[in-house]
């Protein structure tokens, strides 16, 4: 575990303490929730990247596999 100091507004701290006896657990839960939401947001944003391509995903993967110097993708070994 890592201890750290953060600065938050007094009113927010008081309200959080009213909701939970374990402030550390509350902050940990809030950070986990924030990170989960950011990961979902990042994943959703990445889906749009494929839509900008003119080729289908199978063609793109096959092209990547055939690039010079990418022998690790050669399935004939």
End-to-end CA distance of the chain: 46
**Tens digit of pLDDT for each residue in 57-74?**
777 777 777 766 555 555
d(CA 46, CA 51): 10
- Please give the Cα distance from 66 to 46 (Å, whole number): 24
CA distances from 11 to 15, 17, 20, 76, 77 (A): 6, 10, 14, 65, 64
Q: Over the stretch 2-55, which tens digit does the pLDDT of each residue have?
A: 999 999 999 999 999 999 999 999 999 999 999 999 998 888 777 766 566 677
Report pTM. Answer: 0.56
**55 Cβ contact list (under 8 Å, min separation 6):** 63
Under a CB-based contact definition with an 8 Å cutoff, are residues 57 and 50 in contact? Answer: yes
């Amino acid at each position: 575990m890592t201890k750290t100091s953060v600065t938050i507004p007094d009113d927010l701290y008081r309200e959080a303490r009213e909701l939970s006896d374990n402030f550390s657990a509350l902050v940990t839960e809030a950070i986990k929730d924030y990170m989960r939401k950011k990961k979902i947001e990042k994943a959703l944003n990445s889906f749009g990247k494929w839509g900008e391509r003119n080729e289908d995903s199978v063609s793109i993967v096959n092209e990547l596999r055939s690039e010079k110097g990418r022998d690790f993708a050669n399935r004939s070994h």
